[in-house]
Amino acid sequence: MSLNAESTAFRSALEVIRAVEPRVADAIEAELADQRESLKLIASENYASPATLLAMGNWFSDKYAEGTVGRRFYAGCQNVDTVEALAAEHARELFGAAHAYVQPHSGIDANLVAFWAILADRIESPALKKAQVRQVNDLTEADWFALRRELGNQRMLGMSLDAGGHLTHGFRPNISGKMFDQRSYGTDPATGLIDYDKVAEAAREFQPLILVAGYSAYPRKVNFRIMREIADSVGATFMVDMAHFAGLVAGKVFTGDFDPVPHAHIVTTTTHKSLRGPRGGMVLCGPELADQVDRGCPMVLGGPLPHVMAAKAVALAEARRPDFPDYAQRIVGNAQALAEGLLRRGAKLVTGGTDNHLVLIDVSGYGLTGRQAEQALLDSGIVTNRNAVPQDPNGAWYTSGIRIGTPALTTRGLGTAEMDATAELIHTVLSQTNPGGSKAKYVLDPALADKVSKQASELLTKFPLYPAVDLG
- Which of the following is catalytic: 66, 81, 257, 424? 66
Write the burial class of residue 347 (CB in 10 Å: 0-12 exposed, 13-18 middle, 19+ buried).
Answer: buried
- Which of the following is catalytic: 241, 318, 374, 418? 241
Phi, psi (degrees; rounded to nearest 5) at 63: -100, 135
- Which of the following is catalytic: 29, 37, 64, 143? 64
Answer yes or no: 392 catalytic: no
Answer yes or no: 273 catalytic: yes
Answer yes or no: 241 catalytic: yes
Beta bridge partners of 387: 401
- Which of the following is catalytic: 52, 168, 270, 384? 270
Residues 6+ apart with CB under 8 A from 283: 100, 101, 104, 110, 113, 114, 117, 266, 267, 268, 293, 296
Answer yes or no: 345 catalytic: no
Is the bond preceding 435 in cis, omega lying within 30 degrees of 0?
no
Q: What three-state secondary structure class fits 137?
A: helix
Q: Are 408 and 45 in contact (CB under 8 A)?
A: yes
Beta bridge partners of 269: 282
- From CA 259, how far away is CA 391, in angstroms rounded? 28
258 secondary structure, DSSP code:
G
Q: Are 411 and 273 in contact (CB under 8 A)?
A: no
- From CA 47, how far away is CA 36, in angstroms rounded? 11
- Which of the following is catalytic: 279, 312, 371, 403? 279
Q: Are 70 and 81 in contact (CB under 8 A)?
A: yes
- Which of the following is catalytic: 36, 40, 228, 273? 273
Phi, psi (degrees; rounded to nearest 5) at 106: -160, 175
Query: CA nearest 356: which of 256, 244, 239, 213?
Result: 244
Catalytic residues: 64, 66, 241, 270, 273, 279
